Each structure stands twice: as structure tokens, then as C-alpha cells.
Chains A and B, each alone.
Chain A
Amino acid sequence: MKTKLKKLYFNIIKFPSYIIFHPFDGYDELKRYKKGKPWVATLFIMLFAFFRIFVYVNESIIINNRNPHNLNTIQEIFTVLLLIFLFVIGNWSITTLMEGKGNMKEIFMVTGYSLFPVLIIGFPAVILSNYLTKEEMGIYTLLMGSGYALTGIMLFFGILNIHEYGLLKTILTFLFTVVAMLFMIFLGLLFFDLIQQFIAFIISIYDELRLRY
């Protein structure tokens, strides 16, 4: 039991925080020694979806302008899932063409692991925000900002390491990934629109036949 807990602690807390402070060694170990676990990445993504809902509801009312009646948990969860999905697919398709060494599983793990700072800083920060006055709210914004910044840095170094890229090439990859994501969104919309029209066409033919005979 104790070893199990220790292992859990290592996987969820210790190893991700090791990556924050030693990005090159950390991601090297993630890739080479299989220290990264897909289930940890999945857990982090799920927690991030939960985090967004948590912020929506529990942020201090001094800075929270969201209407609680408009909260849609399904939408929040799917937004996160869709973004991660698009990023992983987009990045994989770009890096495959650009001689990246990472595979899709590793890209997924990097994406998941890079959410760690937002979660570890964000949850306490949101709780803390309820004990701050308007003048002190700067502390909260600083914490949240640093959380997201660290996530960005982790994601950047993760992609850089697992594909064994240089700095410039990584930046280029990110730009192309964004383009790829937009392209996929466009294709998705196009697909649904065409399917809709196709269905409408079939239905109208059916109606025509039904009314005639």
C-alpha cells in the first residue's frame, strides 16, 4: 500500500514538477526511460476540464463576471477535449512531415503533462481568491498568469524535446500546428454542412416519392 501511494505521488506530483525545473532532463526521461504515463496525462486533462468549471463557479465574486446560470459543464468539458484533440492531431501531422522524432502517444503525454502547473497553482489560487479584497486581487492574477505561463513553457520545451528540434524549428512547428488546427476546424464544419445538406436531399427525395405514390 505504502509503495503504491509512493508511486502515485511520484507519477502525479514529483515527476511533473521535476520536468518544470529540469525540462530537458525531464522530457528526456519521459521519452527514453518511459517515465511518462498516458494515464497521468489523461488525468491531468480531465482535471483541467474540471478546473475550468471550478473557476467558473468558485472564483471570488469580486472578479467573477460570469453568469452562473450560463454554466454548461458539458460544453466546458468538450471544449477542453476538442482543443487537446486538435492540438495532438495537428502537431502530429505537422511534425511527421518535419522529421519529428516523437510519436502521437508522446505528443499526447507532453500536452497532458504540461497542464500540471495550471492545476497545481490554479486550484489553490482560486480558493485563495475568495479571501482577497479588490486591492489584493493582483496576487491572484499573478498566480494564475504564472500558472498559464509555466504551462506554455512546459508545452514548448516538451514539443522541442520529444521531436529533438532546435528553437526556431519548434516555433515554426507551433505556428504550423495552429494552421493545421484551423484547417481541421474548417474541414469539420464543411463536413457537417455537407452531411446536413446530403441528409436534407435524401429526405426531400423520400418526401417526393412518398407524396407521389
Chain B
Amino acid sequence: MKRLFIILLLFMTTPLLLGSSYNYSFYGDVIHSAPGMTFATYFNAQTLETPLGSPEYFVVYNNDIYMIDSERGLFVIDETFKLKSHHDSFELSEAYKEKTGQTEALTLKTPFGLDVKPQGIYLADSGNARIIRLNFDFKVEAVYSNPQDPTFESVAFFPIKITVEKTGRMYVISRQVYEGIVELSESGEFNRFTGVNPLRLTPLEIFRRSMMTEVQLAKLRRFLPTEYTSVSINENSFIYATSKPTDNNVSNTIQLINPKGVDVIKRNGYHGVQGEIHYIENMNNYVINGPSMLVDIDYTKGGIFSVLDQKRSRIFTYDSEGNLLYINGDEGQQSDKFKQAVAIGYHGDDLIVLDRGSKTFIVYRLTEFGTLVNQAVAFHDDGRFEEAHDIWIELLKKNANYEIAYNGIGKHLLREGKYKEAMANFKLGHDKYYYSKAFKEYRNNILRANFGYIFAGVIVVVAGSIGLVIYKKRKKGESLLYED
């Protein structure tokens, strides 16, 4: 009876399990995919045994989760998802007391962002327009406010997200600042703006604007670079950033900004690195329209990074080449789904999603498929193509729709010198660049092996055609050397 019940249950839940596991094929079709991650567990105000106000953001540091709540301050959660400590006002450290002469503890006002690095805990105290650096005893070490730049004469400094480089340089997103990410030195002085979203006008737009008067231009909707929504710096000081999509930067919403301030993300995948590929453009009351609204980004080993689409409650995971590895996440009210996600973070290999609406952390764990994908990508990143090759073959057994696996196989075969097999794999994986490389080697090998025959053939053809001319002229009785 029990077994029957289980079997029945399995049938009933099949459509649920199939869920939203999809991927995009080379031709842009939506195809089924094995899920890369599945729901593992969750924790929220009840399991933490503390009320939560409005959770905004979290980071993972040394397996501890530091979460900022815009109403209730800073929470620290340990790796077993139990509450470690909660702080809403911060004592001043001795050094800071001496330096400034202040004694009063600091409180937060609608903080939105934080970052934790070995130097300390950085809180973006948005309402008070300042950044607070705490040590790991939760004592205030420094306060940074009032960056000196003409921009902040017209717009108030309102830090919403912060990420800190290993040298202590701070990268801050300030609300309604369109110049880019604010870079502050380790002593809190304004350095520069970095990673500006480029704006491009179409020729038609430029022409239209040149015909307008000043008054008309003033009335026109302003063309502004988009605001960034999240930043996260990696150990090489490259900043992963997401921004809001607008009409002209949909393909630019995810960036990898190098220390020079240039976007260097690789877009070698089948489609752009932008979250959802297909979406409905127009206003529509029945489905969610428009491109993905990416609100957070986090990275893990092997150059893999994930972005969170708040609009459709989905997580897109890419590798360092820009290949879309897997998509997961689902919108809903159940405990394994989320509705108003605001932050994601890698906790070991697990991915944690923070839902502001239900004040819940949802933990996603890699499936067998996802683990293998991450492994293969990591091997590939290390240049260990042979190990990666074996895993890609294994992956194709688990998910025959997984086109990028063929490219992984092909790259190993190419290095082995098996050009023909490599070509077949690149053809299936639609990697034109490597197909061309393999084909070039294959063609040159054939040419080299048969060079004698080819050269002989050319000589025969040339000699034959000359002979034919001579023969024809002879037959007609004409002279060979000159025409008469």
C-alpha cells in the first residue's frame, strides 16, 4: 500500500519536478535541460528565532552569512543556518574614539548593502549617506562619507551596494548616479568613477535631435546610462556588475569590469550574457514582458558566475566564456520558490537566494548534473582538457540536449590531433571558431599527404592544355610561334 502510494505520488509530482529546467539552444529554441540546482533547504525568521524586518542583502564570508536588514540592522548567521548574532547599534572602537573624540554608538538608517573582507565589515548606511567599517568585534573602525566630486553637489550620496578590494579600495553604487561605480580610496576619498555604461545613439536619433530646438530637447525624455544594481569584486580585482536594462543596453546588463574600468566579459556563448533571451517586448497584461531585471551577481570557482533575475525569479549561471550553463529558480509562494528575490550568494557550492517578500533564505544545491558541469568547467578553466573531456561525455548521457558539451569534447580531440572527430563535435556544438581551426588542420593534413598527386595533377592539366593548343594548331596547319 505504501509503495503504491509512493509510485502514485511520483506520477503526480512529475510535472512539478520537470518544472522550469530549460536552456537555450544555438538556434534560440527553448529546450529541456536537466536541472543544474535544486532546492535543498530554507531558513527564515522562524528557524532563526528572530524577527526580520526587510532583508536587503547578504554576503558569505568564511562560511558565515552576513545579512543586512534595512529595518533591523546586521545579522550574522553561521554555516548551519543558526543565528550567531544581531547588531543594530555599533560601539566605537578605542582608536576611532581617540581620533574623532566621539563616544556615542552609531545606529543605522535604512542600510541597503554590505561587504565583508579581511579588513572588516563594510556597511552601506544608505539613509545616513555614509559607509561604516566595523572590525570583527562589531566596533566602528572608520566612517566614510561625503565623497568630493561635483556630481554629489546635485545628487545626494546614497550608497546602496558596496564591494571592497583586497587593498581596501571601495567600489560603491550610489542611487541616481549615472556616471558609473564610485571608487573610494582606502581612506574614503573619492578616486574616480569606473565602468561607465556606454550610451549609443542611432544615426536617426542624432539627426532628429539636431533638428530640435533647445526647448524641445529639454522636454525630451533624457538619455541616461543605466544605474548599476549590484557589484561583486573577485580576487583579481575584476568587478562583476549588473545593471538595469534599458532600450539600448539589454546585451550589456552584465559586466566584468577590469581595473582600468573597461568591460571585459566574454560573450562567446550562443547568445548574449543577459539573462533571458526570449521575452515579449510590448505591454501585456498576461505575461511578464521585457528583458531580465538583474539585481545581483555572485561568482564561484572556475570563473562560473550566477545572476539573479528578479522579474521572473530565475537564476542564470554562466561560465567564464559566456556559455549559459543552466537556469533554475521558480516563482511562487512555496518554500522552495521565491517572489521578490534581492540577493544571491555562493555558500561553498550551494547557492543561497534571499527573498525580501517572504523574508526567507532559500538554499539551492547542485544536482549530480550541476556538479559535473561545474567540475568540467573548472577543469577546462585549468586547461585540463582530458579530465574535462571525460566529464563532458558523461554529461551528454545525462542531458542529450547539452550542446556546449560537444565543444568541450572537441577541444580535447583537437589537442589530441583527432581533427576529424573534433570537427564533428564542433559541428554539433556550433563552435565556428574551433571548427574552423580543426578544419584547417584537417585540410592541411590531407593536402600535405597528397601533395605529390596534387602537384602531378596540376602539371598534367597545364601540359595537357598546352599540348591541346599545339595539336589544334598543327591540325589546322598554322605556325606555332607567330600568327599569320
Contact = CB atoms under 8 A, between A and B. Distances in A.
Interface of A: 61-63, 67, 69-70, 131, 133-135
Contacts of B443: 131, 133
23 contacts: A61-B427, A61-B430, A61-B432, A61-B435, A62-B432, A62-B435, A62-B436, A62-B439, A63-B432, A67-B27, A67-B29, A69-B27, A70-B27, A131-B443, A133-B436, A133-B437, A133-B439, A133-B440, A133-B443, A134-B432, A134-B433, A134-B436, A135-B436
B410 to A, nearest CB: 13
Contacts of B432: 61-63, 134
A62 B432 CA distance: 5
Q: Among the interface residues B436, B437, B440, B443, which one has the most CB atoms of the partner chain A within 10 A?
A: B436
Contacts of B437: 133
**Which of B427, B437, B439, B443 has most A Cβ within 10 Å?**
B439
Interface of B: 27, 29, 427, 430, 432-433, 435-437, 439-440, 443
A135 B430 CA distance: 17
B407 to A, nearest CB: 14
Nearest to A69: B27
Nearest to A61: B427
Nearest to A135: B436
Contacts of A133: 436-437, 439-440, 443
Contacts, number: 23
B87 to A, nearest CB: 55
A99 to B, nearest CB: 38
B69 to A, nearest CB: 48
A135 B432 CA distance: 11
Interface of B: prevailing SS: helix
A69 to B, nearest CB: 8
A134 to B, nearest CB: 4
A133 B443 CA distance: 9
B261 to A, nearest CB: 31
Nearest to B427: A61
Nearest to B436: A134
Nearest to A63: B432
A50 B432 CA distance: 26
A44 B29 CA distance: 35
A62 B29 CA distance: 20
Contacts of B433: 134
> Which of A61, A69, A131, A135 has the most CB atoms of chain B within a 10 A radius of its CB?
A61
Contacts of B427: 61
A67 B24 CA distance: 14
A131 B447 CA distance: 12
A70 B29 CA distance: 11
Q: Nearest 4 A-B pairs (CB), nearest first?
A: A134-B436, A67-B27, A133-B440, A133-B436
A79 B222 CA distance: 43
A133 B441 CA distance: 10
Contacts of B27: 67, 69-70
Contacts of B29: 67
B395 to A, nearest CB: 23
A131 B440 CA distance: 9
Contacts of A134: 432-433, 436
